[in-house]
Structure 1
Amino acid sequence: MTYPLKALAAAMLLATSLHASAAEKITIMVGGIEKQIYLPAKLAEQLGYLKETGLDIELLSEPAGVNAETEMLSGAAQGVIGFYDHTIDLQARGKMVQSVVQFSDAPGEVILVSKAAAGSIKSAADFKGKTMGVTGLGSSTNFLTQFLAAKAGVKNSEFTTLPVGAGSTFIAAMSQGKIDAGMTTEPTISRLVTTGAATILVDLRTLKPTEAALGGPYPAACLYMPNAWVATHKDQVQKIVTAFVKTLKYINTHSAKEIAEKMPADYFASNKQLYIDALDASKAMFTADGVMPEQGPATVLKVLNGFDKAVQGKTLNLAATYTTEFVKAAR
C-alpha cells in the first residue's frame, strides 16, 4: 500500500502545481480603459472572451499610456494596451517589447482648440508660445503633438506640454484655461465639441485623415508585451490574442449601439447617445483582424524620427517591434 499512496501524493502534488501554473495571474495595464481607442480591452471582458481563455487575466487602468508602460517595465504587469509607437521608442532605449495584436491603424485622437484660443490657433504653426495638453509626458499624445509641431516648423522648446490626463481632467484643464489646446480621444472629444467649448484642429480618428497628416497608416492601439515574456509564454499569449481577435470581429460586425449595450454605464459620462455617436464616427479605426498594417511601422518610425532624440540616428529592427504569429493562428 505504501507505493500507491506515494504515487497518489505525487500525482496530487503535480496537479496542484499545474493548477497553480494555469491560474497564474496575468495583469494587463490599459492606458485609460474608458477611452474608446482602447474599447477592445473592456469589451473583450464584457463579452466573456477573456474568461473563455481559462486564464486569470486582470485589466488595470492608468490615465496615460506612458504610466501603463512604466508598470510593465517594473514587472507589475505582463502587458500593456497602449500605442504601438512605444515599442519603437523603447527599443531605441534598449527595451525589447512587441505588439502581439493590433487594435487600430489610426490614433483615434484629435487636437482640440479651446473656445478662448480659437482666434489665435489656426494651425500647428500657432502652437508656438501656447500650452498644449497631453495625457502624460512621454505618452503617444505627446509624441504626436510634438511631431505635428515640428512638421509645422515649431520646436519643442517653443511651446509647453502639460500632462492633464483625459476625460474630466482634460475638460477641467481646458475650461479653466490651463491649456490652450490639446490632444485627446473619444468620448472626451464629443463632450467638448457638442457644448461649443472646443473645436477640432487636427483629426486623426480614422485612416484617411491620418494618412494625410502623418504620411501613412499609424498603427496605434495594440497589446504589447516584453519579447522575452512572449517567447516563454506562447500558449498564454495565443489565448489572449485569440480573445481580442474575436472582439475585433465583433466590433467590425456590430453597430455602435449594439456595442454600447455591452459596456458599463459609467463609460457614457451620463450621455449614452453621445457615446454611441462618437463610436459610430470613429470605430472604423479598428482593424478587422488584429493584423499590423503593412506600411504602419515605417510610418511610425518616420514620425518618431521627426522629434524623438532617443530614436534619431539609431538603427532599429522594426520586425522585432511586432509579430503576426498569434493573430494568424487565431484566424
Structure 2
Amino acid sequence: MDNKNSRRRVLLALSLAVAGLCAGGSAMAQAKLEKSKVTIAVGGKNLFYYLPLTIAERLGYFKDEGLDVQIVDFAGGAKALQAVVGGSADVVSGAYEHTLALQAKGQQYQEFVLQGRAPQIVLVVSNKTMPNYKSIADLRGKKIGVTAPGSSTNIMVNFVLAKAGLKPSDVSFIGVGASAGAVAAMRSGQIDAMANLDPVISMLTQKDEVKIASDTRTLKETQAVFGGNMPAGCLYASTAFIQQNPNTTQAMANAMVRALKWLQKAGPSDIVKTVPESYLLGDRALYLAAWEKVREAISPDGTMPADGPRTALNTLQQFDAEIRGKNIKLDTTYTNAFVQKANARYK
C-alpha cells in the first residue's frame, strides 16, 4: 500500500512538473501580442523576391505565432508603400531602400527582417524593337517597363542609367506589373526594355525575345552592379508601429525566419507544392529553372548585411536629388534585434 501511494505521489509530481514546463514554455514562446490582426502590403507577391512571405503564409507560420495576417498585393513596391503611408496597411513587404527615401522626406520607417540579399532585378532589352542594341546609352529616348513607377525596379534602372551617364528623364518609364501583363507588354512591342524579376524574366529569355543588359540575381552580379551587398526585399514598418507593437513585430520576424530556413532546405517539389498554381505562369519547369537562378539571393536568416545600408544609400545618391546631400541616419532604418531572437528560437 505504501509503495502504491509512493508511486502515485511520484506520478502526480511528474505530471505537475510537465504541466508547469508546458505552461512556462508556451508563455516564453509567445508573449502577448499588442495587435493580432496585421495587414501586409506587397508589390508583386508572385515574384521570387517575395517568396519567403508566401511560404510563411502558406505553411501557417504567421498563424503559429498567433497572427491573423492579411496580405494585400499591389502592382509594385511603390504602391505597397503608399498603402502603409496612407494607413490602409501596417507593414510593407518591399525593398529596403524605400526606408531611406522616406527618411529623406522626414518619415521614419525601419526594416526588421530581410527576405533577399540580392535584388534579383534584371534589365532586359527587346530583340523586337532594339535588335541592334549595344550598350545602356542606346536606351536614351526609349520606353522602359518597370513593375510600378518609383518601385525597386525603377530604382535599379535609374542607377544603371546613371552609371552610363543618363538621367531618369532621358527615358520614359511605364508600369507593367510583375506577371503576365509584363510579358505581354514586352512581346507586343509596347516597351523597348524592362526591369523585372523571375519568373517573368525567364519567360522572355527562354525564347530569346530579349537580351540581358544588367543582372542582379546572384551575389557576385549584385556586387558587380552596386559595388557591395545590396539588401532587397524585407519587412518594414513605421518606427512608431514597431515601438508600439514589439511583440507583434517579433512574431512576424519569427514567421519570416522560419520561412527563410525552410527555403534553405526545400527541394523543387516542395516549392511547387506550396506556392499557388498561378505563380507558375503555366510553366512548372520554367518556374523551377528560374528558382535555381535566384535561390542564392534569398537571405538564409533574415539578417541585414553590415555593408548593405551604405550600399543602398550610395545607390540612391547617384540619381535621387531628394536624397543626395541629406543626412540619412542609416542605423535607424534597420534593426537586427528581432531577427536575432527569431534565429535563437528557430535553428
CA distance in 2, matches of 1:28, 1:85: 18
CA distance in 2, matches of 1:175, 1:259: 28
Which 5+ residue runs of structure 2 have no aligned equivalent?
A: 1-31
CA distance in 2, matches of 1:191, 1:233: 41
- The match for 2:166 is 154
Deviations 1:173-222 (A, max 9, x none): 11221110010001101111112222222111111001001111110100
Q: Choose the corresponding residue for 2:110, options 90, 98, 108.
A: 98
- The match for 2:22 is none
- The match for 1:278 is 290
Q: Choose the corresponding residue for 2:50, options 20, 38, 44.
A: 38
Q: Choose the corresponding residue for 2:332, options 287, 304, 320.
A: 320
Residue 259 (1) aligns with residue 281 (2): no
- The match for 1:61 is 73
Q: Report the alpha carbon displacement of residue 21 of structure 1 after superposing the two structures with TM.
A: 7.5
Deviations 1:208-239 (A, max 9, x none): 00100111111010001101100010001101
Residue type matched to 1:270 in 2? G
Alpha-carbon contact 1:22-1:55 (below 8 Å) kept = no
CA distance in 2, matches of 1:200, 1:186: 13
CA distance in 1, matches of 2:228, 2:128: 32
CA distance in 2, matches of 1:43, 1:288: 14
Which 5+ residue runs of structure 1 have no aligned equivalent?
A: 1-19
Map 1:13-92 to 2 at 5 A: 24-92=36-104
Change (3 A) 1:257 1:200: farther
Deviations 1:29-77 (A, max 9, x none): 1111111110011111111111101111111111100000000001111
CA distance in 2, matches of 1:310, 1:205: 28
Map 1:188-203 to 2 at 5 A: 188-203=200-215
- Sequence identity (%): 38
- The match for 1:3 is none
- The match for 2:256 is 244
- The match for 2:318 is 306
Q: Choose the corresponding residue for 1:220, options 232, 238, 243.
A: 232
Residue type matched to 1:33 in 2? K
| Alignment RMSD (CA, Å) | 1.5
Could you state the TM-score of these two structures normalised by the residue count of structure 1? Answer: 0.91
Of stretches 119-128 and 52-61 in structure 1, the one that deviates more from structure 2 is 119-128
1:100 is paired with a residue of what secondary structure? strand
Residue type matched to 1:301 in 2? L
Q: Report the alpha carbon displacement of residue 262 of structure 1 after superposing the two structures with TM.
A: 1.1
Could you state the TM-score of these two structures normalised by the residue count of structure 2? Answer: 0.87
CA distance in 2, matches of 1:22, 1:228: 13
Residue 269 (1) aligns with residue 281 (2): yes
CA distance in 2, matches of 1:197, 1:289: 36
2:319 is paired with a residue of what secondary structure? coil
Alpha-carbon contact 1:174-1:180 (below 8 Å) kept = yes
Residue 165 (1) aligns with residue 177 (2): yes
CA distance in 2, matches of 1:239, 1:21: 8
Change (3 A) 1:66 1:193: same
CA distance in 1, matches of 2:40, 2:75: 14
Of stretches 116-125 and 265-274 in structure 1, the one that deviates more from structure 2 is 116-125
**In the comparison of the two structures, how many residue pairs are matched?**
312
Alpha-carbon contact 2:42-2:74 (below 8 Å) kept = yes
Residue 290 (1) aligns with residue 302 (2): yes
Structure of higher CA gyration radius: 2
Residue type matched to 1:157 in 2? S
CA distance in 2, matches of 1:122, 1:283: 29
- The match for 1:230 is 242
CA distance in 1, matches of 2:293, 2:181: 23
CA distance in 2, matches of 1:101, 1:310: 26
